[in-house]
Chain A
Amino acid sequence: MSNIVDARGLSCPQPVLLTVEKMKQFKAGKLEILVDTESAVENVKRAVIGNNWTVEVVNEANGEYNIRATKT
């Protein structure tokens, strides 16, 4: 089962919806969520933190973002 959510180009609420589904599947561990708008970054971050995972955002060079969600 992949731990990557590719939500690039998806409109609201897909990035959050896919991230929440993935967090439910994995329950703990490391996830990577790929998005390409800042509003998606904010929304996904809010959902990740709201589910008690920790979050780190890495800016990719081409205007894309790699959001890393972790729960131990």
Chain B
Amino acid sequence: MKKNMFATRWGIITVGLIIGAIASLLQYFGNPPNMGICVACFERDIAGAVGLHRAGVVQYLRPEVIGFVLGSFAAALIFGEFKARGGSAPISRFILGVFAMIGALVFLGCPWRTVLRIAGGDGNAIVGLAGLIAGIWIGTLFFKAGYNPGRSYKSHGSSGLVFPLIMLGLLVLMLIYPQISGQNKSGVLFYSLKGPGAAHASIIISIGAGLLIGFLAQRSRFCTMGAFRDLILFRQLHLLLGLVALLAAAFIVNLLVGQFNPGFSGQPVAHTDGLWNFLGMTLAGLAFALAGGCPGRQLFLTGEGDSDAAIFVVGMIVGAAFAHNFGLASSPKGIGPNGAIAVIVGLVVCAFLGLTMRKKTS
């Protein structure tokens, strides 16, 4: 086996530093504040861009997500790690994706954005981070009690190509139907005229950043959920070092370019409801833990041909549509009318799956 320098301690730290710096710079170049990269928010924007929900302020076919998958796909091909596989509890992973997204949208951010919000001075995100860690901790209890989603199996090469090809197809759509100034629709795609969906770096910068991060993250196995899971379950710091490096780099770049604004109220694309910031991320953390990876890691796995990860991602995109259509997603004004009940339902569903999926593998 070839030596993988990115899988070393300094490898993961370097990758974390690069991701953190790029994320802050994406904000500088036009992405929403404290949202240089937010996998959940960006998948939600994609759901809006293709009209699965019609929340006018969050519609943009984020090229970063496309880049994550295609960058990882390139790395997997180059290093011989593309292996089409799937079949490990697909519908359960889909539902975990749905509720991971709902939890993230009650808080307003995935684990990546949680860290970026802290790096930008948003105190509410510290509460979200505590919730995330609590959710992952609950997940480790299920693992210790025997939770196991079961094996995946080798599949046809083409089935592993499906998700990267979907991403390529979306990129082609975006090039055919680019944003038209002052218009909320271009061809079949929806665009935002105001709000976070209207804030974005240029396509070239976004896709370039996505490709680079996708490539590096595939090599280093960067995972924001695994960072805490491995610490709790194995007392292992490896992935956490990458996440801390991301935080440090984003914080420093934010200071340098004037993007650090400490406080709790008036933070961008955030609300101050501590209880639901905490519980929203508890749900998201638990769902990511049971599915075996943070939303970024799931995207990188799709690039390796992992159909189970692809189904989780599709679950997140569908979950985003439900979150906005059913009034579950929060806004800067506070949580949505049905957000609280959705989080409780989600926690019950995750507990049900965690307790019942205890397939013996040996």
Contact = CB atoms under 8 A, between A and B. Distances in A.
B237 to A, nearest CB: 10
Given A9-B153, A12-B226, A16-B234, A38 B4 contact: yes
Contact of A20 (B1, B151, B234): B234
A17 interface: yes
B362 A9 contact: no
Contacts of A10: 88, 148, 150-152, 361
Interface in A12-64: 12-14, 16-18, 20, 36-39, 41-43, 46-47, 50, 57, 59, 63
Contacts of A6: 361-362
Interface string B228-243: 0110011010100000
A61 to B, nearest CB: 14
Interface residues of A, number: 29
Given A42-B221, A50-B236, A63-B83, A14 B148 contact: yes
A13 B361 contact: no
Contacts of A13: 143, 226, 229-230, 233-234, 292
A8 B151 contact: yes
A2 B148 CA distance: 20
Q: Which label, helix, strand, loop or mixed, suits the secondary structure of the A interface? A: mixed
Given A6-B362, A16-B234, A42 B226 contact: no
Interface in B268-319: 292-293, 304, 308
Nearest to B93: A11
B302 to A, nearest CB: 13
Interface in B140-181: 143, 148-153
25 contacts: A6-B361, A9-B85, A9-B152, A10-B150, A11-B149, A11-B292, A12-B293, A13-B226, A13-B230, A13-B233, A13-B234, A14-B148, A14-B361, A16-B234, A17-B143, A20-B234, A37-B83, A39-B7, A42-B7, A42-B221, A47-B234, A50-B234, A50-B236, A59-B1, A65-B1
